[in-house]
Structure 1
Amino acid sequence: MSKLRIAFSGIGAVGGYYGGMLATRYKDKEIADFFFISRGENLRAIKEHGLHIKTGIRTLVAVPTLATDNPAEIGPVDYIFCCTKSYDLKENIEQLKPLLGPETVIIPLLNGVNITEQIQELLPGQSVWKGCTYIGARLIKPGYIDKFSGKEKIFFGSKDGDKAKQEALLQLLTYSRINAYNPDDIDLRLWKKFLMISTAATITTFFNQNIRDVIEQHYDMFIALGNELKSVAEAKGIHLPADIVYASIEAQKMMPAGATTSMHADFLAGKPTELETLTGYVVHTADKLGIDVPTYRFMYNGIIKMPYPWV
């Protein structure tokens, strides 16, 4: 039996952690080869010293089969984990074409609930599953990842995808001590996460405040965003739990003092942001469905007009 070939595109906190865990677990085993697609200083650090992953009191050093910024050096693979930012999606998919074969499966771990559909539009006929992850990790410097949360979760799957392939990937992930799940309700899992990250990203960015401050000072508006997004999900046939809005905000209270969302942090740093993926998507989808989302619309329009970054 030939080795599986698995590529990770985007070796930041998410791609680096999952790719690193797999590469470490299966080192010197005739099961799978792992390929890291990165660039710049991060790529140089991985090539020279491996990818360091700090988890609690231990640090792993992952050495992939190949780390490169040129996917043509890899060739077709069995699975591609796409772990870049959503605003880079189109460029990233174009770059990944040398990895594609008739049996290749793409698994996006990007923020957003319509990422799979976007990829399918770019690559008609290609197998694209759905995926999302919960993880507290960051790339603290080139070649070094700090996983500061106690646990992570990764969900992936496809209602129409090859079940044997899904089961094989699940076993591969869980054997690497990754908390992986292949649920039948993958769409519900995506929307649960989206409600949490979309509302938080929108309100922290609009008020230019961290999570704890917006909860303390703008709780009612936080609730309003959640209820509006829940109504959009229900109009699309996604039946979220009745208490999800309050539960999502309670979960946000567990964030460390001063913590904010990645979209807010990107705005502060003057970087490209996921505004259209996390906020604009809700407004535009609501328009198509004939649903009123006044709080989302107010904040979306306000963020667009703000100085970039704030001064």
Structure 2
Amino acid sequence: MSKVNIGVIGLGGVGGFYGGLLAHHFEDEEQVDIHFVARGAHGEQIKRHGLTVQSKDRVIVAKPARVVENVQDLGKMNFILLCTKEYDLDEVIVDLKEIVSKNTVILPLLNGVEAFEKLDRELEAEVWQGCTYMVSRLKEPGVIDNPSGRQKIVFGRTERITPLMLQVNHLLQAAGITSFCTQDIAKEVWEKYILVSSSAVATTFYNCSFGVVMRDHTATIRTLVTEASAVAQAKGVHLTEDIVEVIMERLAAIPFDSTTSMHSDFTSNKVQTELEVMAGYLIREGKRLQTEVQTYQKMYAMLKDKQGNYTL
């Protein structure tokens, strides 16, 4: 087997955790090299001391084959795990165009659903759909923390599983990553997106935790879930008939005091947030598909005015 080069772009909570597991497992494996893109203090710490990954039951120090500052410096990769924020995607696509070919596989693990559509449309590479289930964060430069230890990647392309997908799945699982490839990936990705989109908009709009949203604003969150589900179905995604109840049950199971990353970004008065990913995209698709998303539109308009100046 020829050498497999895997690039990890976006070394935050998601990319850092999965990239760390891969780099640690394949550190002494001659046939697989893991390459990180990381800048600043985070990148320097990894270069000097490795990437520390803390989990519920263990701590590892991962040492990748290379740490580079720019995507272009990766060079030719067989497989790219893309874990940036979606608002950075357009810039990353420009950089990726310089290094990918039709033989490059890209697996985006971003919160939204638009990333796959953009990458598949604009790049010559083979792009798969994917999503991940985990709670992990960049604790400090060079340190990733996943306190629960829970993690899962689901990926694939609609209506087909290829030998290459099975090979990548084997590599991920060998590194201790819980992963599955599926032909029904659009359903998986949209189910997650409906949950994260509705909860991000609601927690940010009401400036509160998951628990408070579910207790005090049940009707609104249900409407958001219903509107997002309608857009998915209008796009041809085959959701189950009870999808609204399924998502509501999952939301109710999230710890009471937890919140969303978009809510945290707003409370930190960040200018760049995931508002376009979590609401703007749905509104644009709703308009294109003539599907009502009035609650999303109302909340989006008010949050747009408060972005970077969040004083509710």
Kept in 1: contact 2:82–2:107 (CA 8 A): yes
Q: How does 1:200-211 map to 2 (within 5 A)?
A: 200-211=199-210
Q: How does 1:64-213 map to 2 (within 5 A)?
A: 64-123=64-123, 125-159=124-158, 163-213=162-212
SS across alignment from 2:112: coil
**C-alpha displacement of 1:117:** 1.4
**C-alpha displacement of 1:153:** 1.1
CA distance in 2, matches of 1:291, 1:95: 35
With normalisation by structure 2, the TM-score equals: 0.94
1:58-108 Cα shifts (integer Å, max 9, x gaps): 101000000110344431010111100000001112223443234111111
Deviates more, 1:164-173 or 1:95-104: 95-104
Identity of aligned residues (%): 39
SS across alignment from 1:53: strand
Q: Does 1:306 align with 2:301?
A: no
Aligned length: 310
1:196-246 Cα shifts (integer Å, max 9, x gaps): 001001111111111111111101101111111111111111122233323
1:14-59 Cα shifts (integer Å, max 9, x gaps): 1111111011111211231000001111101111110000111310
Q: How does 1:249-264 map to 2 (within 5 A)?
A: 249-264=248-263
Structure 2 residue aligned with 1:35: 35
Structure 2 residue aligned with 1:52: 52
Kept in 1: contact 2:34–2:65 (CA 8 A): yes
Kept in 1: contact 2:22–2:172 (CA 8 A): yes
**C-alpha displacement of 1:175:** 1.3
CA distance in 2, matches of 1:169, 1:59: 24
Superposition CA RMSD, Å? 1.7
SS across alignment from 2:295: helix
Kept in 1: contact 2:129–2:156 (CA 8 A): yes
Q: Does 1:288 align with 2:288?
A: yes
**C-alpha displacement of 1:146:** 0.7
Kept in 1: contact 2:234–2:289 (CA 8 A): yes
**C-alpha displacement of 1:282:** 1.2
With normalisation by structure 1, the TM-score equals: 0.94
CA distance in 2, matches of 1:298, 1:68: 43
**Aligned-partner residue type, residue 203 of structure 1:** A
Q: 5+ unaligned residues in a row in structure 1: which ranges?
A: none
